Amino acid sequence: MLPSTEFVPCNLCGSQTATVRYTDVKRIDTQLTEVVECDGCGMVYLNPRLARLVDNFTMNEAYLREHYLPYYQKIGILTPTLELDAAANDQFHQSALAEMQPYRELNRVLDVGCAIGLFLKAARADGWDCYGVEPSHALAEYGRLHLGLSITEGELGQAGFAQNSFDVITLWDVTEHLLDPKATYRLVYSLLRPGGLLLLRMPNWQSLARELLGPEWDMFVTDHFYYFTPDTLTLLMKQTGFIPKKVGADGLVPSELDAIVEKLGPDAAAEAVARLQGDTGNGRGSTLLAAAQKPRSRRDRMKMAGQLLRRGELSDLTAEARTYLRWFLADRRG
């Protein structure tokens, strides 16, 4: 029996009208699905799309065994016998852990869509109290049994976490899988403490790889429901209350480089790499990386400013003042 599908409006602006960008994409299994771009705000999404995430292949045991675990074996985080190489895993997540360090107050981090919990394992080694949420039973169970992690199985809204209870919340390669990104980001906002950090990673729609590969881009899959650009991701963060701190695009995924070689030849692949290293490559990398902050209340901001001033931490005080000004202006604009 075919999985149920549904037509949806744009998740960002609610527009019902969109322009078709690709149709009959081979890597998308749902019938009649097109890749469309909202005429109102430029958001790109699948329509029609799966009505239930549980119907997708990535939720089952076969995905874990045939795709997920072999990938992390290939890049060296899991050994050939599926043991965790802790040093490799810590190194893989080092940049994110360093970015989180200044936000350690409650010492709690939540990874939404945590899969088997490799990021949480690295964060725990760095001293964080770690929590994960994962809708796939197979992935969540593997993380609990083999990595000893606290992973709640199901959707974020069912997890029962208290408001304002995390310093950092991460969504690594998750936003594109959300049936309702705006609703999820609003929930994340409520769970993050004032002044807390949101970290994000997802495919970049305006990547050079997508331009070159077209419908053969390997980011086209059945449960990648939304495709963000730096602009549409910034809009999503602002609409849900966050202050964007950075939004950038990085690199070229190795599988995409291989696909460019196969489709267009090695010269085209070399040219793509060169373009991404130059000024013309700005915003054209394969992966969007973003950070945002939940605003502090005026009272909390004044308290923090006083503490920074008394400690003589003037550079941090200046950064806090700039963050407050961005929040104030965004709040004034509604």
Domain residue extents for the chain: 51-300, 301-334
In whole angstroms, give the CA distance from residue 319 to residue 104: 17
Report whether 130 contacts 162 (CB < 8 A). Answer: no
Cβ neighbours of residue 120 closer than 8 Å, sequence gap 6 or more: 109, 111, 114, 130, 131, 132, 143, 147, 149, 151
231: its two tokens = 């602009």
Report whether 22 contacts 35 (CB < 8 A). Answer: yes
Check pLDDT > 70 for residue 304. Answer: no
60: its two tokens = 């089952």
The distance from CA 43 to its chain's CA centroid, rounded to whole angstroms, is: 16
Q: Which residues pair with 49 in a beta bridge?
A: 6
How do residues 55-98 score in pLDDT, each as one tens digit?
888 899 999 999 999 999 999 999 999 999 999 999 999 999 99
pLDDT of 81: 95
* Confidence tier at 308 by pLDDT (50, 70, 90): low
91: its two tokens = 């190194």
Check pLDDT > 60 for residue 306. Answer: yes
Q: Quick check: helix, strand or coil at residue 180?
A: coil
Cβ neighbours of residue 334 closer than 8 Å, sequence gap 6 or more: none
How do residues 203-245 score in pLDDT, each as one tens digit?
999 999 999 999 999 999 999 999 999 999 999 999 999 999 9
Query: Residue 109 belongs to what H/E stretch?
Result: strand 108-112
pLDDT of 276: 87
Check pLDDT > 70 for residue 280. Answer: no
pLDDT of 251: 86
How do residues 129-177 score in pLDDT, each as one tens digit?
999 999 999 999 999 999 999 999 999 999 999 999 999 999 999 999 9
Q: What share of the chain is helix, strand, coil (3-state, %, to 5)?
A: 45, 20, 35
Report whether 131 contacts 110 (CB < 8 A). Answer: yes
Check pLDDT > 80 for residue 326. Answer: no
The answer regarding whether domain 51-300 maps to CATH 3.40.50.10860 reads no
pLDDT of 281: 63
Check pLDDT > 60 for residue 327. Answer: no
In whole angstroms, give the CA distance from residue 216 to residue 28: 11
Q: Which of 251, 214, 241 is CA-nearest to residue 330?
A: 241
Residue 250 or 75, more confident: 75
Which pTM does this prediction carry?
Answer: 0.88
**101-124: average pLDDT:** 97
The distance from CA 303 to its chain's CA centroid, rounded to whole angstroms, is: 32
Check pLDDT > 90 for residue 314. Answer: no
In whole angstroms, give the CA distance from residue 124 to residue 121: 5
